[in-house]
Amino acid sequence: MTTGDGGPSPRRRGRPSRTEAATGPDARTRILESARTEFAERGYDKTSMRGIAKAAGVDAALVHHYFGTKDEVFAAAVEVSFEPTLELSDVLGSSTEGLGERLAGYFIEVWENPVSRAPLLAIMRSAMTHEAAAKVLRVFVLRRLLGRIAEQLDVPDATFRAELAASHMVGIAVLRYVIQAEPLASADPEKIIAMVAPTLQRYLTEG
């Protein structure tokens, strides 16, 4: 859900159909927002290109035009969920000093934010239960995200190490936000980051 708690949406401009407002960069943003909401509420399997188009107030052809296939909209919706407030490139920075802490903090921040958490939860649920969604996550998302992290590293098996770091954060998300196991579910984010940062730092920098 992207429009806050019932307040007026900053993006509300309407005109679902053939006019100017239904195309251009605004339309692309609206499609992506609708895709996130649709995937979050219905899961991968039950979300359709038509449904996304309808929710965005555009023609289904425009969704195809901007994104191609459903898998590609899904991948774009996952990626946009990972960049809610800041760019991953800023998190990665130019040095590996403090990288573990920056990545742990970034990941927790993304999950603590309900706007990005809802679609991420939906994506994980879809990927756990539908091979098509798992494949999108594997091929479009993980490969790209891990690739971006790995290319900053100067260690052997950089992708394997980036993946181990990612696995830890994924597992924390599962236990904290999905299973809601205590005491992790109620732990202060800073406490989690402080414990996890040295682990990520070791994986990503120590040869």
Q: Which residues bind to a second copy, rule: CB under 8 A?
A: 124-125, 127-129, 134, 137-138, 142-143, 146, 157, 159-161, 163-164, 166-172, 174-176, 178-184, 187, 191-192, 195-196, 198-199, 202-203
Shortest distance (Å) from residue 77 CB to a second copy: 17
Beta carbon nearer to a second copy, 77 or 124: 124
Give the position of tokens 């909209």. Answer: 73
Shortest distance (Å) from residue 198 CB to a second copy: 7
d(CA 88, CA 98): 15
Beta carbon nearer to a second copy, 22 or 127: 127
Beta carbon nearer to a second copy, 54 or 125: 125
Shortest distance (Å) from residue 110 CB to a second copy: 15
Beta carbon nearer to a second copy, 76 or 127: 127
Shortest distance (Å) from residue 78 CB to a second copy: 12
Beta carbon nearer to a second copy, 41 or 62: 41
Shortest distance (Å) from residue 88 CB to a second copy: 18
Distance set, CA 63 to CA 6, 47, 72, 147, 153 (Å): 26, 13, 10, 27, 36
Beta carbon nearer to a second copy, 38 or 163: 163
d(CA 52, CA 130): 19
Shortest distance (Å) from residue 101 CB to a second copy: 16
Contacts from 66-74 at CB under 8 Å and sequence distance 24+? 66/27, 66/28, 66/31, 67/31, 71/132, 71/135, 71/136, 71/140, 72/140, 73/31, 73/32, 73/35, 73/49, 74/35, 74/39, 74/44, 74/47, 74/123, 74/133, 74/136, 74/140
Give the position of tokens 């236990």. Answer: 175
Nearest to 22 by CA among 64, 68, 53: 53
